[in-house]
Structure 1
Amino acid sequence: MLRLISTSLCLRCQPLTALPLNFRSCVNLSSSEENQQTVDALYRLSVDIQRVRKLKGWVLHQSPAYTEEVADVLKDMGASGPVIARILVVHPEAVLCDPEQVRTQRELWMTVCPNQKELVGIIEKFPASFFSSTSHHDNQRNNIAYFQSLILNKRIITKLMASAPQSFQRPVGQNQEMVLTLQQAYMELGGNEANMKIWLQKLLSQNPFVLLKPTEVLKQNLMFLRDKGFSTAQLLFLMSSLRGFVTELNPDSMRRTLLFSQTTMGCSEEELRTIILKCPALLYYPESTLDERFQSLCSAGISMSQITETPTVLELTTQIVNYRIQCLKARGYDVRTGSLQVLNGTKKDFEVSFGKLQLRRERPLFNPVAPLKVDD
């Protein structure tokens, strides 16, 4: 029996608000004129000044700034000139960070990513994650230690720091509460303790933002799905699905989606559960999106029984579905009578399936009366 606690909190997921970017303890002085030293330093580093002015011109009015010093730290890490220029044009706020704090930041990140070349690549891809948390070193250090105590892979921790830096900027107790809630729910749903670390790593890797969700959301979503007739084993399967979707939704949205899907497909509640287990992502989509996709499939001559047999086709946009149907039609494949499985998957998956159809049609037929070619 699940020991899930009800709550009176709002069921709708609230959008996350950005945390204040405190680049250092002192306050930058803003001027109506650009800081010429910053502009000159950025020119010397081959940074696209016009792009900076257009997107984040306010940075050029701040004083003091540490353009050359920050660039030197990146250079010491092995970053080339073009890489430094790309980092600063995307995240010029980096020049407002105290160089000493940037060096401390580098030391912290290297505890989970000791390869400086890899770290430079991460900074190039997620510069805001590296430079915007220089005033949260204590929280970062405590959170790194906590995730390391869970014996999580260093790459997973690095991905969390890069993708969801807010989770490392806040007190470690908040992350501990969510991880504990996830672990308890996993065990109560029949999960194997020996596999829990792998399950948690996969969940955090696929959805780093799960840590930022209120624990009550997870509890209420599981309670809602249980009340809809899903067994504990089925709930464990759904909870283990991609992106840990049970923390991204709320009972109200799922109720509307389930009702619309059941009405449109004309199925029973038991049949609907089977469809959801085949395609958990179905719970994500609002009625308007599902209505558009159902209508597009039906207008192509696809029956509702085909859709219920292969509901994952609803994960594809109408544009992708229409394009793939036309490609198959050109090869003589009729989706109205064949399996929809060939439509599914990524672009690469479809190309493989399409290639097999192409190969079957282009293979020369054996002519039993044609003369055989033999060597003289």
Structure 2
Amino acid sequence: MLRVATASLCLYCRRAQSYPLASRGRCSAPGPSLEENKLTVDALYDLSVDIRKIRKLKGWVLRQSPAYVQETATLLRDLGADGAVIARVLEQHPEAVLCRPEQVRAQQELWASVCPNNRDLVGIIEKFPASFFTVHHHGNQKANIQYFQSLRLNKRIIGKLMASAPQSFSHPVERNREVVSTLEEAYLSLGGEQANMKIWLQKLLSQNPFVLMKPPAAIRENLAFLRERGFSSAQLLRLISKLRGFFSELSTDGMRDTLAYSQEVLQCSEEELREIVLKCPALLYFPVPVLTDRFQGLLSAGVSMAQIRDTPTVLELTTQIVLYRMQKLRSYGYDVRTGSLEALNGTKKDFEMSYGRLQLRQERPLFNPVAPLKASEE
């Protein structure tokens, strides 16, 4: 076991305040030693960890004492992690070996309250090791878990929030309570039903956990701005529901610029612009240079402005994707310049399915007694 009695972890954490975030660990901070801890290096070698990667990115970890390499590896192994997973975790987040075993066990118990089984927990640790090994905010983490459980949020949602936005669980619970209260207040004030609020909140938080990191004032300011632009309560509720957590990331200055630019290019009225935004909320958060590039790309490909007004969601796609899809459709006789842009929309999977159906229609023989054509395809 790799234990060397030195200053307490609290002392390390206090020292950490004077180091840049990029080089600071979760469980300790760089000590004064310039020599590597041979026991640490040897133990990591034994676990097939790429020491060169650690030296390049976080070499200071290798100079720390005490270090708990074997204890950390044993805990991960007991959870069901194999050797390859353990090596990847320690390469991504070598600071894990600086966490005291009792702290890591406490984290395991904490995460077990929101993870259905050890297999899911290992998956989270492998993908978000820094989140799991954030041990010195245990009290705040526990209080925040209890708060979200009191909202009757799904365990998986809470686990996802902890994994992808660990800072929000490190803060005092009062901060998250204020953000959630602001969201609930906005939802109800816009006509949302109390019975549906839990589902709405779960979808919002699961889509963008970082909404918890935004100041509540930003949500209120964005709502006030859009009200001034003529959006009704029902329309705002639709917008928030579509944008979900991304609504909090908008800025009034950014929205003002993009709306003014979009209205000028699309040559539409205020009312028409609102309807276009409801169809394509991305107009609110794409900066003007991005929109400029996409408008120009569509127009240069022969698409008309009237087509864009009818199907504004095509602006969510990059110019490269649009041109690629247009070319594939054209190879099977469909020219979006004389038809609808709807054929371009959707995810890659959606488009491939639509393209496949078009390809099948073109290649299928006119008469096939084994598989007769449907009436809609004749």
Q: CA deviation at 1:294?
A: 0.4
Provide Cα deviations, 1:253-272, integer angstroms capped at 9, x if missing partner. 00000000000111111110
Provide Cα deviations, 1:150-189, integer angstroms capped at 9, x if missing partner. 0000000000000100111010000001111111111110
Which position in structure 2 is the counterpart of 1:373? Answer: none
Residues 317-356 of structure 1 aligned to structure 2 (within 5 Å): 317-356=318-357
Which position in structure 1 is the counterpart of 2:127? Answer: 125
Aligned with residue 100 of structure 1, among 95, 102, 106: 102
Count of aligned pairs: 349
Which position in structure 2 is the counterpart of 1:306? Answer: 307
Q: CA deviation at 1:69?
A: 1.1
Provide the rounded CA distance (Å) in 2 between the counterparts of 1:238 and 1:18: 36
Identity of counterpart residues, as a percentage?
Answer: 67
What is the TM-score with the length of structure 2 in the denominator?
Answer: 0.89
Provide Cα deviations, 1:162-220, integer angstroms capped at 9, x if missing partner. 01001110100000011111111111100000000000001000010111100110000
Provide the rounded CA distance (Å) in 1 between the counterparts of 2:367 and 2:170: 69
Q: CA deviation at 1:244?
A: 2.5
Provide the rounded CA distance (Å) in 2 between the counterparts of 1:254 and 1:134: 39
Q: CA deviation at 1:27?
A: 6.1
Amino acid at match of 2:259: L
Residues 26-175 of structure 1 aligned to structure 2 (within 5 Å): 29-131=31-133, 133-175=134-176
Provide the rounded CA distance (Å) in 1 between the counterparts of 2:318 and 2:32: 46
Amino acid at match of 2:88: R
Which position in structure 2 is the counterpart of 1:315? Answer: 316
User: For the Cα contact (< 8 Å) 1:206–1:242, is it kept in 2?
Assistant: no
Q: CA deviation at 1:56?
A: 2.0
Amino acid at match of 2:64: Q
User: For the Cα contact (< 8 Å) 1:70–1:95, is it kept in 2?
Assistant: yes
Residues 1:28 and 1:100: Cα distance change in structure 2 (over 3 Å): farther
Q: CA deviation at 1:308?
A: 0.9
User: For the Cα contact (< 8 Å) 1:28–1:63, is it kept in 2?
Assistant: no
Q: CA deviation at 1:21?
A: 5.9
Provide Cα deviations, 1:237-282, integer angstroms capped at 9, x if missing partner. 1111144232011110000000000001111111100000001122
Amino acid at match of 1:298: L
Provide Cα deviations, 1:295-330, integer angstroms capped at 9, x if missing partner. 000011000011111111100111111111111121
Provide Cα deviations, 1:63-122, integer angstroms capped at 9, x if missing partner. 221111111111111111111011111111111111110110111000111401110111
Provide the rounded CA distance (Å) in 1 between the counterparts of 2:140 and 2:265: 49
1:78 aligned counterpart, secondary structure: coil
Provide the rounded CA distance (Å) in 2 between the counterparts of 1:64 and 1:37: 10
Worse-superposed segment, 57-66 or 264-273? 57-66
1:113 aligned counterpart, secondary structure: coil
User: For the Cα contact (< 8 Å) 2:303–2:336, is it kept in 1?
Assistant: yes
Q: Which runs of 5+ in 2 are unaligned?
A: 1-19, 369-378
User: For the Cα contact (< 8 Å) 2:30–2:61, is it kept in 1?
Assistant: no
Amino acid at match of 1:269: E
Residues 1:58 and 1:266: Cα distance change in structure 2 (over 3 Å): same
Residues 1:158 and 1:19: Cα distance change in structure 2 (over 3 Å): farther
Amino acid at match of 2:193: N
Which one scores higher on RCO, CA 8 angstroms, separation ≥ 6?
A: 1
Provide the rounded CA distance (Å) in 1 between the counterparts of 2:25 and 2:356: 54
Q: CA deviation at 1:147?
A: 0.4
2:36 aligned counterpart, secondary structure: coil
Provide the rounded CA distance (Å) in 1 between the counterparts of 2:274 and 2:83: 55
Provide the rounded CA distance (Å) in 2 between the counterparts of 1:307 and 1:179: 36
Q: Which runs of 5+ in 1 are unaligned?
A: 1-16, 368-376
Provide the rounded CA distance (Å) in 1 between the counterparts of 2:249 and 2:70: 42
Q: CA deviation at 1:366?
A: 4.3
Worse-superposed segment, 229-238 or 65-74? 65-74
Residues 1:267 and 1:291: Cα distance change in structure 2 (over 3 Å): same
1:288 aligned counterpart, secondary structure: helix
Amino acid at match of 2:277: I
User: For the Cα contact (< 8 Å) 1:28–1:64, is it kept in 2?
Assistant: no
Provide the rounded CA distance (Å) in 1 between the counterparts of 2:238 and 2:272: 17
User: For the Cα contact (< 8 Å) 2:207–2:244, is it kept in 1?
Assistant: yes
Amino acid at match of 2:83: G
Q: CA deviation at 1:30?
A: 3.7
Provide the rounded CA distance (Å) in 1 between the counterparts of 2:346 and 2:42: 50
Provide the rounded CA distance (Å) in 2 between the counterparts of 1:64 and 1:169: 24
User: For the Cα contact (< 8 Å) 1:23–1:98, is it kept in 2?
Assistant: no
